[in-house]
Every structure is written in C-alpha cells, then in structure tokens.
Chains A and B, each alone.
Chain A
Amino acid sequence: MNVIVCVKQIPDPAQPGELDPSDNTLKRDGKLILDESDSYGVEMALQLVGTAGGGEVSLVSMAPNGEVSGLRTALAMGAAKAVLVSDPELAGSDALTTAKVLAEASKRLGDADLIIAGTESSDGYTGTVPEQMAELLGLPSITFAKTVTVDGETLKVERQTEAGYDEVTSTLPAVVSVTAGVVEPRYPSFKGIMAAKSKPVDTVTAADLGVTPVGWAGAGQQIVDVASAPEREAGEVIEDEGEAHLKIVEFLDKLKVI
C-alpha cells in the first residue's frame, strides 16, 4: 500500500507569530519545523503501510523557500521520499492554490492508495486544503478522522462529529484528514535521522507542475487592513491562601448565577 502524506513546514509555534508589514501575511522566513499536526498523519501512514506489509510513505510539501528541515524530520520518522514544491512565487498563495499545487505534486509520486493530511495547519488553519485536493483529484474524502484502518479494498474511518463520531467506509483511493492525538508520533531514531539525509527530495517549482498563476497573482483575495483587537482587561488576581473559593462564590453571587 502506498500512502502520500501532505506535510507543512511552519514557523516554530513556540515563537510569537508576526505579520510581514509589507504584505500582511504571516512571516515564514525564519527556521521552519514540521507542523506537529502533520506528524500524526506521518505516523498513521507508517502504521498503515506496516500493517499492509508492503509499499511506502511519500511526502508532498510546499514552501516559498527551499527549506527542508521539517521534511527531514518526517523522512527520519520513516517516510521514503518527498516532493517539495519550492518557489518564491508561492508566497501569498491562498488555500485553493495550495490545494492545486499539492494535488499536482502528488501526481508526481504515481498512484497512491491513500492521501493523508492534517485537519488544519497550526499557522494558517484554513482547514479546507484536504477536501479541495480530493475534489481536484476526483476522489472521495473523509475529514476529521480519529481512527483509520484498511480492510482489503475498503477504508474504514471513525470520523469526529459535533455529537460524537460516525463510522464511515470509503472506496480507495481516497483523501483523509486526521485530527491531532489519533496516534502517538514516533521519535526519529538516530539511524532514521542519518538515513533521512540521503533520502530523495524531488524539488520542483509551481511552473514545473503546470500550476499558474500562484502566490499573490493566483490568490483571489487581498488583505486590506490589520488592526489590533480590543483588549480584554485582566481583572483581579488573588493568591489562594485557603480562602480563595469564598471569593469565587462571592463573584458568582454578584453575577446572580447561583
């Protein structure tokens, strides 16, 4: 079974995010890391291929620069190869353009049985790319998967819903978006990290894939204003010395909710 995982390299979420004042998009020029929400997809793909007893996990990713450190993390976990669409023209691309680029990039990897993506990235969180890719590729899709198994030619998924979860089956190939916490991503071993350095990363441009226009030119949207939101004022902060619960009761009493 061959599985493609869409991964995103994002600015380290531990660092405060910042908008570039020249074009109001998220600054992505520093060091990029593997989006944690994609590590679940990589892990799930590795497990599915392991269970199937054959095949491999491939990655597709896109970045406005040639950054590969996040991809190397996923390769070190056990993915076999990657296609990186690296192109300065991609800066400013919207979700639809991103989906077009990733759909075309995935075709370079040949026929896959399954394409896995995270539910939403941790930096842009538009959350539409997996479903858009599925439509572009003419495939069924199941979003918000919390378990994924393959039984012969049938995909079985438990899909989160507002009220609980649905059991969903699908034909293959298909696109699945997985939620965080579905599996425990493995830590790359030393051997894996060393091996990742020589795994193939096919670097292409958007034009190589035939997707034009991209970036600002392809985005049907433009940021016109960025403003600070009204601040919520912090109230009283007290240290608990054994009586803080009374203060809470008093507060609730004043609001007439008890």
Chain B
Amino acid sequence: MASNIWVFAQGADGAPTSATLELLAKARSLGDGVSAFVLGDAADIAAALGDHGATKVYATGDLGGSLPGAAVASAMKAVIDGGDTPDIIMFPQNYEGRDVVARLSVKLDKPVLTNNTEIEVDGDQVKVTTPVFGGTQLVTTTFTGGGPYLVAFRPKSFVAEAAGGGAPEVVEAPVPDLGATGGATVQAVHVEEHSGPKLDEANIVVSGGRGLGEAGKYEMIETLAKALKGAPGASRAIVDAGWVPYSYQVGQTGKVVKPAVYIAAGISGATQHMVGMKGSKNIIAINKDKEAPIFGVADLGVVGDVHKVLPKLIEALQAR
C-alpha cells in the first residue's frame, strides 16, 4: 500500500474536472492518504475533492497568467522540500498535466511514465500499464529507483466515484519566484464554441474523416450529430487539413471518447484515431474501402459511400 498519493487537480466552472475525479477514485484504491494538488484556487472545488476522497488539498492560488508547467511544478517542489513527500503523483494526460509532470521530473530528477491506463501497487513496487501499437498490446512498466513516482493517465482510464468524504484540510501552496522559466504568460483566452454536448461527455459521437472529400461536406457530420443529440468529432487528417478546429479531434493527440455509440464516417481507422475511440460501447463505421482497419473494430460496418449513406440516414432520423 502506498500511504501518500497526490493527484494533480483542476477545476472548471466551479467543479473538479472529470479527469480529476477519475484519478481520485483510483488513488483511493491504492492507499489511504490522498491529497489533491490544485492548479489555481481551491475554494470552489475543495468540498467536491473531499467528497471524492482527498483528505488534504494544496492550492497554488491564481497563477496570474503564468503557464502551469513551471508554476505548478515549482509549487509542488516547494511542498516536497518542505517535508511532505508523496509516494506517487498522478496526473491526467492533458495539456496542463503533461507540462507540469515534465517540469517536475527534472526538478526531482525522477523519471515519468505517460500514456498509462492502469496502475497497481505490488508491495513496494509500482507498476503501470500503457497500451501501445494502437492498443493492440499492453506494456507493463515498473520504476526501478525511489519515488516520488510520476505517472500520467489517459482520460477515462478509471471511473469517477464519490466516497462521501468530509471537508478536506486546505493548505496554500504558493508559486515561488520562477525566474526566467516564468517568462511565458497568457495574454488572451479564446474559446471555440461547440454546439450540443461536449465531445468527451456525449452519449453519441459522430466523427468525419478524409473520406468526406472536402471541408464543406463536414456539415453532414454536424447535422447527423444534431439529429442524434450527439457531438461532432473528427479525425486528425481533417483537423490538420484545417477543415475543423483542433477541439473536434478524436484520437491519441486529441480527445479520448467512450460514448454509447460512435459513428465513424469516411475514417479509415489509423492507429492515432483508434486509440481515441476504441473504448466506445458500440461502433458504426461507414467507409468505401472494405479493407479499412476501422471495420476490424466496428459492431456494424457499412461498405459504402458516405455521400450516399449519410444524407439518407439523416433524412430517416429526422423523419422519426
């Protein structure tokens, strides 16, 4: 058993993010002493973090525009230097988590293992599992030196569950002077509007790929998603081509989704994409190439032209 586990925690709209709660649920199963280390102010989310098992909450306070990598890692290092040394620090595999864990690994001179989907504490050994080659093989790795063990997990690796814990102790963990490493600051924030449910929370996701042929045809994906009250998504190919913003991307470098139904239209099923959607409960694929790898994971595969199938499907659904 580990006795001191930290979870890198983030809030959004007054609540902890789903990734934070997933990690807290797993952390509880590994040991008793779970602390949440919050990027920003903890006032809004401390109670929820406690409910999900954190007994202590460290909070950096407002970062004043600093990017989180150097700032949060420095704050963590200061707490560790102050005498609270965690056995394991768990991070979500997202923009902030990855930057913070990378900075911290240098500050502590400890290795970091990313892209994990499972963790196990076996005596004094910590083992993590990482899917490779598009999830066809699972590699289990252990740390050979001493902790703190730094590990990052893909979203939705664990299931969030409240533990009914009480209010945690909240401790300020201010960011020390960053010197030159604090030279990057955020000047403005731009939010790209997404209509309907959020991509990584939707019950149904409809994604389009290169098979749509041209940017204008992506409208079919949005219309179908709307008809199903789902969220539109995209393969990396059409995001790179500039047809839709990056926030639509499903895959290894985009979002990981696990909806009840995933519809892949004109997507061949590159490893990069499959990693982000293989966990869906049901997969429907429409592609004109019957050899496309996507059919290997589809519960229902339609070998056909998306330009013919989608309009009829949309019409049939709208007529109901």
Contact of B303 among A134, A163, A229, A240 (CB under 8 A): A240
Contact of B312 among A171, A245, A258 (CB under 8 A): A245
Chain B interface main SS type: mixed
Contact B111 A221 (CB under 8 A): yes
Question: Inside 8 A of A245's CB, which chain B residues have their CB?
Answer: 309, 312-313, 316
* Given the contacts A132-B106, A141-B184, A166-B189, A220 and B135 also touching, CB distance less than 8 Å: no
Contact of B302 among A139, A142, A238, A257 (CB under 8 A): A238
List which A199-254 residues lie within 8 A (CB) of chain B: 219-229, 232, 234-240, 242, 244-249, 251-252
Contact of A166 among B70, B115, B186 (CB under 8 A): B186
Q: In the complex, A245→B106 CA distance in Å?
A: 54
Contact A140 B182 (CB under 8 A): yes
Residue-wise interface mask of B (96-125) relative to A, using a CB-CB cutoff of 8 A (1 in contact, 0 not): 001101110111011111110000000000
* Given the contacts A240-B302, A244-B304, A170 and B138 also touching, CB distance less than 8 Å: no
Contact A168 B187 (CB under 8 A): yes
* Given the contacts A181-B242, A235-B298, A162 and B95 also touching, CB distance less than 8 Å: yes
Size of the A side of the interface (Cβ < 8 Å), in residues, is 78
Who on chain B is nearest to A160 by CB?
Answer: B246
List which A14-69 residues lie within 8 A (CB) of chain B: 16-17, 19, 24
Q: In the complex, A160→B228 CA distance in Å?
A: 28
Who on chain B is nearest to A129 by CB?
Answer: B102
Max chain A C-beta neighbours (<10 A), residue from B94, B143, B182, B300:
B300
Interface: A94 (CB within 8 A): yes
Contact A138 B181 (CB under 8 A): yes
Shortest CB-to-CB span from B183 to chain A, Å, is 4
Interface: B188 (CB within 8 A): yes
Contact B184 A170 (CB under 8 A): yes
Who on chain A is nearest to B263 by CB?
Answer: A248
Contact A251 B303 (CB under 8 A): no
Contact B295 A167 (CB under 8 A): no
Question: Inside 8 A of A226's CB, which chain B residues have their CB?
Answer: 137-140
Who on chain B is nearest to A155 by CB?
Answer: B184
Q: In the complex, A238→B110 CA distance in Å?
A: 52
Contact A235 B137 (CB under 8 A): no
Contact A181 B253 (CB under 8 A): no
Question: Inside 8 A of A238's CB, which chain B residues have their CB?
Answer: 300-303
Q: In the complex, A24→B105 CA distance in Å?
A: 23
* Given the contacts A17-B133, A181-B242, A249 and B316 also touching, CB distance less than 8 Å: yes
Question: Inside 8 A of A170's CB, which chain B residues have their CB?
Answer: 183-185
Contact B316 A247 (CB under 8 A): no
Q: In the complex, A163→B190 CA distance in Å?
A: 8
Contact A135 B107 (CB under 8 A): yes
Interface: A190 (CB within 8 A): no
Contact A224 B127 (CB under 8 A): yes
Interface residue stretch chosen among B23-31, B51-59, B158-166, B233-241: B233-241
Contact B67 A168 (CB under 8 A): yes
Contact A168 B183 (CB under 8 A): no
* Given the contacts A131-B98, A163-B247, A251-B284, A229 and B115 also touching, CB distance less than 8 Å: no
Contact of A234 among B180, B191, B204, B301 (CB under 8 A): B301
Question: Inside 8 A of B228's CB, which chain A residues have their CB?
Answer: 252, 257-258
Contact B298 A249 (CB under 8 A): no
Interface: A89 (CB within 8 A): no
Residue-wise interface mask of B (152-185) relative to A, using a CB-CB cutoff of 8 A (1 in contact, 0 not): 0000000000000000000000000001111111
Max chain A C-beta neighbours (<10 A), residue from B127, B180, B204, B236:
B180
Question: Inside 8 A of A135's CB, which chain B residues have their CB?
Answer: 70, 73, 102-103, 106-107, 181
List which A83-129 residues lie within 8 A (CB) of chain B: 94-96, 99, 119-120, 125-129
Contact A125 B115 (CB under 8 A): yes
Residues of B within 8 A of A (CB): 67, 69-70, 73, 94-95, 98-99, 101-103, 105-107, 109-115, 127, 131-133, 135-145, 179-192, 203-204, 228, 236, 239-242, 245-247, 252-253, 260-261, 263, 278, 282, 284, 286, 290, 295-305, 308-309, 312-313, 316-317, 320
Residues of A within 8 A of B (CB): 16-17, 19, 24, 94-96, 99, 119-120, 125-132, 134-136, 138-144, 146, 155, 159-171, 174, 179-181, 219-229, 232, 234-240, 242, 244-249, 251-252, 255, 257-258
Give the 10 A-B residue pairs with the shortest CB-CB distance, closest first. Answer: A240-B304, A181-B240, A131-B102, A140-B183, A171-B183, A128-B102, A237-B301, A235-B299, A170-B184, A135-B106
Given contacts A238-B300, A240-B308, 17 further A-B contacts (CB under 8 A): A96-B111, A126-B115, A128-B101, A129-B102, A131-B98, A134-B103, A141-B70, A162-B95, A164-B190, A171-B184, A181-B239, A234-B296, A237-B303, A244-B302, A244-B309, A245-B316, A248-B309
